[in-house]
């Protein structure tokens, strides 16, 4: 029996939370608890969702769903640490 984490269901679960509840903010530890993944794996998944532009990391380190019409865009910093406008 394979003990590898079930990454695809965890990704779907995390994406579902952000899609079903607009404005949701999750810290890495909250995402770990929600997904059931180990912290390093969960962090990799969140970073992949960020790279795919599904999530953005807010200035406080939490992850948020971000779209161009989202009111939270002014709280989000780009990869250079600069505030987006």
Residue 43: count other Cβ atoms within 10 Å of its Cβ: 14
Q: Domain of 43? A: 7-75
CATH code, domain with 14:
1.10.10.10
Average confidence (pLDDT) over 57-65: 93
pLDDT in tens, 32-59: 998 888 899 899 999 999 999 999 999 9
Cα–Cα distance for residue pair 85/75, rounded to 1 Å: 9
Residue 67 has pLDDT above 50, yes or no: yes
Q: Residue 69 — very low, low, confident or very high, per pLDDT cuts 50/70/90?
A: low
Domain count, the chain: 1
Token match 């903010």: residue? 25
Residue 72 has pLDDT above 70, yes or no: no
Q: Tell me the whole-structure pTM to 2 decimals.
A: 0.70
Quote the pLDDT of residue 37. Answer: 85
Q: For 47-82, give the secondary structure using H, E and C.
A: HHHHHCCCEEEECCCCEEECCCCCHHHHHEECCCCC
Q: Does residue 17 fall inside a structural domain?
A: yes
Q: Does residue 85 fall inside a structural domain?
A: no
């Amino acid at each position: 029996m394979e003990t590898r984490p079930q990454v695809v269901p965890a990704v779907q679960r995390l994406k579902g939370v952000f899609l079903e509840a607009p404005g949701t903010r999750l810290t890495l530890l909250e995402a770990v608890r929600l997904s059931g993944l180990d912290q390093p794996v969960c962090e990799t998944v969140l970073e992949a969702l960020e790279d795919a532009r599904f999530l953005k990391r807010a200035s406080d380190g939490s992850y948020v769903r971000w779209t161009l019409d989202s009111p939270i865009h002014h709280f989000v910093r780009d990869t250079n640490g600069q505030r987006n406008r």
